[in-house]
Amino acid sequence: MSIKYKILLPLLLMVFFTIGTISHLYTNYIEEYIQKTYLMQLKSLGSVTQDKVNLYIQQMRDKIDLFNTRLYLYNKLIEYDKSKNSDIKSIVEGILSFAYSNDEDIIDIVILDSDKKIIASKLKKITAKNKFIQNISKISNETELIFEADNIAPQLYLSAPIFKDNQLIGISIFIIKLTYLNKILTKNKMLGKTGEIFMSTKNDKNLILFTPLKFATSPQLSRTKYLNNYILEETIPKTIEKALDYRDVPVVLSLHYNTRLKSIIVVKKDIKELMQPINEIKQYQLIILFISILFIILASFLISQNIIKRIKEIVRITSNISNGKTKERIEVSTTDELGILATSVNKMADFILNAHAISEAKVKSQTKLLRESNGKLKQNNQNLSTMIKSLSHDIKTPLTIIDGYLEEIEDGLVSQNELPKVTAILKKETAYLNELTTESLNYIQSQKSTKTKETIFLKSFLDKEVYSLLRVSKEVKLQCEIDDKETIEFNATALKKILINILYNATKHTSKGSITTKVENKNIIIEDTGIGIDPKDRESIFEPFVCLDKSQNREKNGFGLGLSIAKNLADNNGYKLSLDTSYSDGCRFVIKNI
C-alpha cells in the first residue's frame, strides 16, 4: 500500500469513528433529557390538575355548607322534624326552586329528614331507591361519584347533615354535573397534539374512563389490560415511561390518585410525539455525517497529495545532508507542521553542535505550557466541585422539607385546617429551588462570552435602568457623578446585572452616608460609606456560593453568586471587576477596561 493510502485511510476511519461516536452519544443524551423533561412536565401537570380538582370539590362543598346555613330552611326543617306537616314540605320545595338556578353544574338539590326520607327535591326525579341515599351517613359529609344504571357518565353527589343542638334534623344533597371538572381536564395547551388528561375509576370489575377523551367517544369502558393494571393501583402518584393507553398506543403516563373522588387522574402523551425531536435530530445527523464524509474524503485526498510531495522532498534533502551534502537546504514556504519540520532539519544542519541545548529549551517551554494548562484545568475542576457541593447543600434542605410534608400528607397526618399552611410551605420551598436553579443557570450562562455590544450613555442608563430598581433609606444619598456624554461599549443586559448587583449590595450594607457612582480614566467606580468587607473575606468575595452574611436567613443571604456572575460578565465584555482594598471608608468596586 502506498504512503498516500496509509495516511488517507486511517485519517478517514478516525474522523468517521469520531463523528459517529459523538453523534451517538449526543443523541442518547438528548433522548434521555427529553424523556426526563416530558416526565417532569406530565407529573407537574398532574399535580396542578389534582389541585384544581380538589379546589373545585371544595368550592362545591362550600356551596352546600352555605346552603345549609339559610335560617328560613333551618327553621322549617325543625318544624317538619317535629310535626311531619305536608304544608311545611311544600314550603321546603319552594325554597329549593330558587336555589342555585344559575349554576350550570348543580342540577338537583335534595333535602332528607332525620330518617333519610326525602322531604323535597328540586327536580323531583330522585327516589328513595337511589344508591347514594341508601348508603348515606347521617353524621358526616360525603362525596361520591354515582353511576346511574348503565350510564357511564357519573354525577357528583355531595351530602351535608344539618344539626340542632347536636341532633340531626335533616340532610342536604347536591347533585352535580361534571361540566366544570371536564373543562379543567380538557383546556390545557401544554399537552401538544397527543397529550391528554382524563379521570378514571373502578366500577365493579370495569375500569371506566368517565371524563372527555381526545381520541374516543367518552365516557367509555377501558378494556386495555395494561392501562387497567397501572390505573387500578392506588400507590401513586407515579410515572410510567412506557405503557399502552385505551387505543393500545405506546404512551408515557403520570398517575395521581384523588382520594375524594376515589379515582385516578391520568396525564399521558404518545411516545411517538415525544420521540419526534429525536428522530429529526437523527435525520439531520445522518445528512451532516454524509456531507462531512464526502468533504473529508476530498480534502484528505488533496491534503495527502501535497503532504506526500513535501515529505518526499524533505526525505530526499535529509538523506543528502546525512550523506555529507550539508550545503543543501529545504525550501520553507509554509508555517504548518511540515514547514516546522523543514525548518528543524535546516536548523539541525546549521546548529548540529547545539542540538541538545535546543531540544532541552523546547522541552522546558512545552512543560511550562502543560503546567499552565493543568493549573487552569485544576482550578476549573475545583470551581465545579465547589459549585456542586454548594448546590447539593442548598438543595438538600428544601427537598427534605418537601419530602417530609408530602409523607405527612400521604400518611393522612395533615388535617384539612393545616393543609393551606402546609401548601404555603411547599410553595415557598419550591420557589426557593426555582430561584436557586435560575441563579445557578445565570452563573453558568455568565461564563459564556458576550457576542453583542453597544454604545451606552452611562448616566442615562443608570437613571432609567438601574436606580429606579433600588430602595435606599432616607439617611443614604444615592449619587451619580458621571457626565451626560460619558459612554461605554458594553452589552446592555450584562452591564445592568453588574451595576444592580453591586449597588444592591451597597444599599443593604450602608445605613447612612452615600453611595456614589463615577468614572475615572474610563473606569467605572462604585463606592459607599457602608460597613465594608472584612480583610479575610476580600480574596474570596468573587468566588461562587460565598455569602459574607453568616446568618441562617436564606431569603436575606441569597446564594452567593451575584459577584461571581458580575465578574464573569465583566470579563466577557473586556473588563475586570475588582475590589479596591486601599479604600477604608466602606467598599469601592472598580470596573476596569483591560
Q: List, in order, residues 6 or more apart from 474 with CB less than 8 Å away.
A: none
Q: What pLDDT, on a 0 to 100 scale, did the predictor assign at position 557? A: 52
* CATH class of the region 69-180: alpha beta
Tell me which residue has cell 460597613: 531
77, pLDDT greater than 70:
yes
Q: What pLDDT, on a 0 to 100 scale, did the predictor assign at position 472? A: 85
Q: List, in order, residues 6 or more apart from 18 with CB less than 8 Å away.
A: none
Q: What pLDDT, on a 0 to 100 scale, did the predictor assign at position 355? A: 45
Task: Check residue 469 and report its DSSP letter.
Answer: G
Task: Check residue 450 and report its DSSP letter.
Answer: P
236, pLDDT greater than 70:
no
**Rounded to an integer, what distance in angstroms lies between the CA atom of residue 2 and that of residue 545?**
59
Q: pLDDT-derived band of residue 553, with 50, 70 and 90 as boundaries?
A: very low
Q: What pLDDT, on a 0 to 100 scale, did the predictor assign at position 486? A: 92
Instruction: Say which residue, 393 or 63, is predicted with more confidence.
Output: 63
Q: What pLDDT, on a 0 to 100 scale, did the predictor assign at position 158? A: 93
Instruction: Say which residue, 164 or 415, is predicted with more confidence.
Output: 164
Q: pLDDT-derived band of residue 378, with 50, 70 and 90 as boundaries?
A: low
Instruction: Say which residue, 174 or 16, is predicted with more confidence.
Output: 174
3, pLDDT greater than 70:
no
Tell me which residue has cell 429551588: 433
519, pLDDT greater than 60:
yes
Does domain 374-445 fall into CATH 1.10.3470? no
In this structure, are residues 237 and 253 in contact, taking their beta carbons and an 8 Å threshold? no
In this structure, are residues 416 and 140 in contact, taking their beta carbons and an 8 Å threshold? no
Model confidence over 419-433: pLDDT tens digits? 777 777 777 777 666
In this structure, are residues 318 and 310 in contact, taking their beta carbons and an 8 Å threshold? no
**Three-state SS at 453:** coil
The 3-class secondary structure across 255-320, one letter per residue, is: EEEECCCCEEEEEEEEHHHHCHHHHHHHHHHHHHHHHHHHHHHHHHHHHHHHHHHHHHHHHHHHHH
Strand partners for 164: 167
Half-sphere exposure of 311 (CA within 13 A, CB side): 10
Q: Which amino acid is it at 151?
A: N
Instruction: Say which residue, 377 or 102, is predicted with more confidence.
Output: 102
239, pLDDT greater than 80:
yes
Region 6-23: mean pLDDT is 68
Cis-peptide into 219, omega within 30 deg: yes
Neighbours of 257 (CB within 10 A): 17
In this structure, are residues 184 and 174 in contact, taking their beta carbons and an 8 Å threshold? no
| H/E run at residue 428 | helix 419-446
102, pLDDT greater than 70:
no
Q: Which amino acid is it at 75?
A: N
Helix 71-83 to helix 86-97 angle (10° resolution) is: 160
What CATH number should be reported for the domain whose range is 449-593?
3.30.565.10
CA distances from 134 to 68, 129, 170, 244, 411 (A): 21, 7, 15, 38, 30
Q: Which amino acid is it at 585?
A: D
Q: What pLDDT, on a 0 to 100 scale, did the predictor assign at position 563? A: 82
Q: pLDDT-derived band of residue 202, with 50, 70 and 90 as boundaries?
A: confident
Q: What pLDDT, on a 0 to 100 scale, did the predictor assign at position 386? A: 62
Instruction: Say which residue, 418 or 40, is predicted with more confidence.
Output: 40
Tell me which residue has cell 444619598: 477
Q: List, in order, residues 6 or more apart from 211 with CB less than 8 Å away.
A: 178, 181, 182, 185, 198, 199, 218, 219
492, pLDDT greater than 60:
yes
Half-sphere exposure of 358 (CA within 13 A, CB side): 11
Q: List, in order, residues 6 or more apart from 234 with CB less than 8 Å away.
A: 257
In this structure, are residues 348 and 355 in contact, taking their beta carbons and an 8 Å threshold? yes
What's the burial of 498, exposed, middle or buried (CB within 10 Å: 0-12/13-18/19+)?
Answer: buried
Neighbours of 574 (CB within 10 A): 13
> What are 540-548's contacts with CB under 8 Å, separation 24+?
541/579, 542/567, 542/577, 542/579, 543/383, 543/386, 544/383, 544/386, 544/387, 544/390, 544/443, 545/386, 545/387, 545/390, 545/391, 545/394
In this structure, are residues 49 and 185 in contact, taking their beta carbons and an 8 Å threshold? yes
Region 493-505: mean pLDDT is 89
- Rounded to the nearest integer, the mean pLDDT of the chain is 78
Neighbours of 490 (CB within 10 A): 25
Instruction: Say which residue, 347 or 80, is predicted with more confidence.
Output: 80
**Rounded to an integer, what distance in angstroms lies between the CA atom of residue 546 and that of residue 538?**
11
What's the burial of 323, exposed, middle or buried (CB within 10 Å: 0-12/13-18/19+)?
Answer: exposed
Highest mean pLDDT, choosing among 9-18, 43-52, 280-289: 43-52
Instruction: Say which residue, 408 or 58, is predicted with more confidence.
Output: 58
In this structure, are residues 110 and 126 in contact, taking their beta carbons and an 8 Å threshold? yes
Residue 573's nearest CA partner among 420, 424, 447, 389 is: 447
Lowest mean pLDDT among 54-63, 306-315, 482-491: 306-315
Q: List, in order, residues 6 or more apart from 578 with CB less than 8 Å away.
A: 589, 590, 592
Instruction: Say which residue, 563 or 159, is predicted with more confidence.
Output: 159
Q: pLDDT-derived band of residue 189, with 50, 70 and 90 as boundaries?
A: confident
Model confidence over 144-171: pLDDT tens digits? 888 876 667 888 999 999 988 888 889 9
Q: List, in order, residues 6 or more apart from 299 with CB less than 8 Å away.
A: none
Neighbours of 426 (CB within 10 A): 16
337, pLDDT greater than 70:
no
What's the alpha-carbon Rg for the chain, to the nearest Å?
38
Q: What pLDDT, on a 0 to 100 scale, did the predictor assign at position 172? A: 92
Instruction: Say which residue, 590 or 70, is predicted with more confidence.
Output: 590
| Domain residue extents for the chain | 69-180, 374-445, 449-593
In this structure, are residues 35 and 339 in contact, taking their beta carbons and an 8 Å threshold? no
Q: pLDDT-derived band of residue 551, with 50, 70 and 90 as boundaries?
A: very low
Q: What pLDDT, on a 0 to 100 scale, did the predictor assign at position 318? A: 76
Model confidence over 47-59: pLDDT tens digits? 998 999 999 999 9
Residue 219, C-alpha cell as written in the block: 365516557
